[in-house]
Amino acid sequence: MLKLITHRAVTGVLSMSAIALLTACSAGEVPAPAENPNIATATKWVTANATGKTETLAAVQALMAQDGQLYRRRYVGFGFTWDPNDEQGRMIVGTVIPGSPVEGILQPDDQFLSVRGLEINEENMGKLDFRGKPGELVNAVIQRGDETMDISVARGIIDAPIGKEQVLEWLASGDADTWAPDKWELIEAVGQGNVVYVWTQTWDTDDDSGLPVDTYTVTRFEFNAAGQVVALGNLGEERFALEQAGWTISR
């Protein structure tokens, strides 16, 4: 900045802002840095997500760029989404993640009937072998229209991002009644330029065990020149949450 001020002074075009800055520096004052508007947008996003389903959908619609991408947490499994709040306790495929092990095998609206011989119902959905050792074959039975089909899927790593339309579709399948945590806190939001990190903590109650669960999450936002989110991802404490709820994790 000093070189810029000196150059302008020599050429006789020193601006009023440069004069003010030079005066402040000569008086021993350090100008406060301009507030990054992307930090405010990221804060608005995480606040909406912790408030409710309606607020989250509205925030994503308004704040995410049309070409924005959500980088979901990686896992080993099949690679499809489904509505866990189906009133009849069914597991019906909502979307198939591109590049996943079930691409070309599953289609939207396919219904899982059993996985490794275990019939699917509302009580045993958490006991199905979708996740586990990569490369291991898992046999299942699905229904597509009026046809019952046997399928075999080798588990794989799921790490493909999803676009804005898929994000909205995925969020729309969530349960509004259990969306918000019991309590949450924004610990810190920091950023430079088009990248912002937000650190939050949530407190909730596990539905099955009734035990209290708290977790930390760090969310990374990347913005375009218009101030809209073009990339989003986070790291959390899923394993720690399961352990607090009393789950035994064997591998």
Residue after which a domain boundary falls, among 120, 140, 158? 158
Q: Answer yes or no: do 168 and 239 share one domain.
A: yes
Residue 193 lies in a domain: yes
Q: Answer yes or no: do 117 and 92 share one domain.
A: yes
Residue after which a domain boundary falls, among 158, 175, 200? 158
Q: How confident is the model at residue 19 (pLDDT cuts 50, 70, 90)?
A: very low
Q: Answer yes or no: do 188 and 80 share one domain.
A: no
| Mean pLDDT rounded to a whole number for the chain | 86
Q: Answer yes or no: do 186 and 197 share one domain.
A: yes
Q: Is the pLDDT of residue 153 over 80?
A: yes
Residue 121 lies in a domain: yes
Q: Answer yes or no: do 168 and 44 share one domain.
A: yes
Under 8 Å between Cβ of 59 and 40? no
Burial of 208 (0-12, 13-18, 19+ CB in 10 A): exposed
How much is the CA Rg of the chain, to the nearest whole Å?
Answer: 25
| 185: containing domain | 37-72+161-244
Q: Answer yes or no: do 65 and 176 share one domain.
A: yes
Residue 221 lies in a domain: yes
What CATH number does the domain containing 63 carry?
A: 3.10.450.50
Distance, CA of 235 to CA of 238 (rounded, Å)? 9
Closest CA to 198 of 34, 65, 48: 48
Q: Residue 17: what pLDDT?
A: 46
Q: Residue 85: what pLDDT?
A: 73
Query: How many domains in the chain?
Result: 2
Q: Answer yes or no: do 88 and 189 share one domain.
A: no
- What's the rounded mean pLDDT across residues 142-168? 93
Q: Answer yes or no: do 183 and 166 share one domain.
A: yes
- Asked whether the whole model's pTM tops 0.95, one would answer no
Q: How many residues are there in the chain?
A: 251
Distance, CA of 213 to CA of 73 (rounded, Å)? 19
Looking at the chain, the whole-number percentage of residues with pLDDT higher than 70 is: 85
pLDDT in tens, 23-70: 455 555 655 556 899 999 999 999 999 999 999 999 999 999 999 999
What CATH number does the domain containing 110 carry?
A: 2.30.42.10
Instruction: Report the half-sphere exposure of 236 (CA within 13 A, side-chain side).
Output: 18
Q: Is the pLDDT of residue 1 over 70?
A: no
pLDDT in tens, 135-146: 999 999 999 999
Instruction: Report the half-sphere exposure of 99 (CA within 13 A, side-chain side).
Output: 7
pLDDT in tens, 93-125: 988 888 899 999 999 999 999 999 989 887 777
Residue after which a domain boundary falls, among 135, 158, 181? 158
